[in-house]
Every structure is written in C-alpha cells, then in structure tokens.
Amino acid sequence: MPEGDTIHRVAARLRPALAGARLVRFEAPRLVGARPRPGETVEAVEAAGKHLLIRFSGGLTLETHLRMAGSWHLYRTGERWRRPVHLLRCLVEVEGWQAACFSAPVVRTFPTAATGTVDDPTAHLGPDLCVDHPDPDGVVRTVLDRLAALDPSTQLGEALLDQRVAAGVGNVYKSEVCWHERVDPFVPLGRVDEATRERLVRTAARLLRANLGPGRRRTVAEGLAVYGRRGSPCRRCGTRISSDVRGELARVTYWCPTCQHPA
C-alpha cells in the first residue's frame, strides 16, 4: 500500500498538468457518487494522507485510495498507456493530458462543500505528517492526544498505522521509525512513555517529508534501514534483521532484535 509520501508525489506530478485546466473527458466505470462534467475546471489536486483528492469547479471532489494495487499515471494525449484499459478505474482528461488511475479499489466523489464534515470520507484522518504545518508543535500535541485515546494494549506498530491518529505512515515507515528510535514495534502502547511517543511522531514526520521529492526513498544514507531487509545485517549493529506478520491486517514488520529488544 502506498505511503503518504507516495501520494504527495503523485499529487505533485499531476498538479501541473491538471490544476486550472478545463475537463475534456471523465470516465470512471465503478464510480461511487456523481460525475464532474466536461467543461468544468480542475481547481486543485491534493493529497490527504494516503488519499488523492481532485477538486472540480462544479462542486465535486474526486477521492481515490490506491490500497495495494492502485496507481495513477500521467500521459500526453495520444500516448500509449502502460496498463491495459480493463484496469482503468478513473480517467481525468484535460487538453493535452490524460491522468489515468488503474486498479484502485476506492474511486468516489463527494460534495466539496462537505469537506471537513461527516460526509467527507477523509474527515476521520489525523494530521497529515507529510505536510509542513505552520504549528508543528501543535500537530505533535494533537497526535499524542490521539495516541493517548487508543487502547493501551494496542501494539505500537499498529498504533502508528492508525490513520485516525496521524495520516501518512504506512508499513514501511512504521518499521523504519521504530528502528530509528530503537523501539520494539510490538510493545503495547501503554508501555511507551510520552517522551518516546513524541520522538516517534517527530521522526515519522521528518522521514516522510524528507522523501517528498524525486528519487529513491531513503531513511538512512544507504536507503532503508530495515524494511525489506530480512536476514541482512542491521545498519547500526550488524545483527540480522527479523520480520514477522502480525496484527489484524496481517502486515509484515521488520526490526532489529538487538537494537529494538523488548524492554
């Protein structure tokens, strides 16, 4: 599943082609909600955590969530697509450009006026850690308050993945952040003191924002510290990296048994 930094990169790639342009064609064979009409203007292309939002002048916002298999592509009009048409889930065409979304399981629209209300499908999200907020300390405080509201028996890694707490952290950053702060990802949240929680939140925000630009994702100079490196030496102590599948969603976690030994 794409992390928040991936969706912000997608928005940054689509925005110059779509924002301010007139809609020529809109297709979405499995769309939930009303359809924007040709002739409307694309007013904005935004990311909210792992959700991509495209806002139209007619009063609708298109929301897509890519989950595991989805992807957005940008093509010049007439350029050959790199994915088969039967996988198309949404096409936003403006003069000169086609933004095509393939295989996304969530493609829906909602009234832009409902943004921030119960009818906004992104209203449940916590602060987006990919965004450089004007009050970063206030954002951290909000995230800490939301962590404090969770069941203290929740594993730390699962808490970091909870988009209601903070938006943007996915499976990669869950593992990477815990490694950076030398914390066992399976420790119950109730055993993690507030100072450690704050470090985890600030590190997550720092790593996400450091990867908003082009190039390969890096959390250490060599690339990734632990994610996808089962059996390889820890970049800090040399111990072989472990991995395991746990939690309700059966997600894989990577960690160093020495650096992140349970307290």
Catalytic annotation, residues: 2-3, 50, 251
Return the HEC string of 201-251.
HHHHHHHHHHCCCCCCCCCECCECCCCCCCCCECCCCCCECEEEEECCCCE
Q: Is 32 helix (H, G, I), strand (E, B) or coil?
A: strand
**C-alpha of 16 from chain center:** 21
Closest by Cα among 60, 54, 56 to 72: 54
Distance of CA 183 to the CA centre of its chain: 22
Give the closest residue to 64 by CA, choosing from 93, 94, 30, 98.
30
Find tokens 């794409």 and name the residue: 2
Element (H, E) at 177: helix 171-180
Q: Are 216 and 223 in contact (CB under 8 A)?
A: yes
Q: How many CA atoms lie within 13 A of 160 on its CB side?
A: 34
Q: How far apart are CA 37 and CA 56, in angstroms?
A: 9
Q: Are the C-beta atoms of residues 105 and 142 closer than 8 Å to each other?
A: no
